[in-house]
């Protein structure tokens, strides 16, 4: 019976251990631009873990989209009205 949903993960590169972490739900291992999540495990004997590997290579595009959205909201609700008031002389 599995007591904890924790997996000991070791990343080996060129025969050297380069990363080690006990991963559990919502606490992945981050290495080389990838996140290693514990997706599932052996329910019968607890001998192995199934990992999900996710790349964060497109994250900068997502953040730049949020930045543009924030600038657009600021422009639409506040800055545009301030410019209009200054042109009208108020």
* Domain ranges (residues) in the chain: 1-57, 58-90
Would you call 83 exposed, middle or buried from its count of C-beta atoms within 10 A (0-12, 13-18, 19+)?
exposed
Q: Which residues pair with 13 in a beta bridge?
A: 16
- CA–chain centroid gap for 89, Å, is 48
What is the predicted pLDDT for the residue at 42? 77
Q: Is 5 helix (H, G, I), strand (E, B) or coil?
A: coil
pLDDT reported for residue 2: 52
pLDDT on residue 17: 93
Helix (H, G, I), strand (E, B) or coil at 1: coil
Structure tokens, 24: 């559990």
10-residue block means of pLDDT along the chain (90 residues)?
74 92 87 88 78 86 94 83 68
Summary count for the chain: helices (H), strands (E): 2, 5
């Amino acid at each position: 019976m599995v007591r904890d949903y924790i997996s000991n993960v070791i990343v080996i590169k060129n025969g050297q251990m380069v990363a080690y972490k006990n991963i559990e739900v919502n606490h992945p291992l981050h290495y080389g631009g990838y996140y290693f999540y514990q997706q599932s495990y052996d329910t019968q004997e607890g001998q192995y873990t199934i990992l999900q590997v996710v790349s964060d290579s497109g994250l900068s595009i997502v953040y730049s989209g949020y930045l543009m959205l924030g600038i657009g909201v600021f422009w639409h609700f506040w800055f545009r009205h301030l410019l209009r008031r200054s042109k009208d002389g108020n």
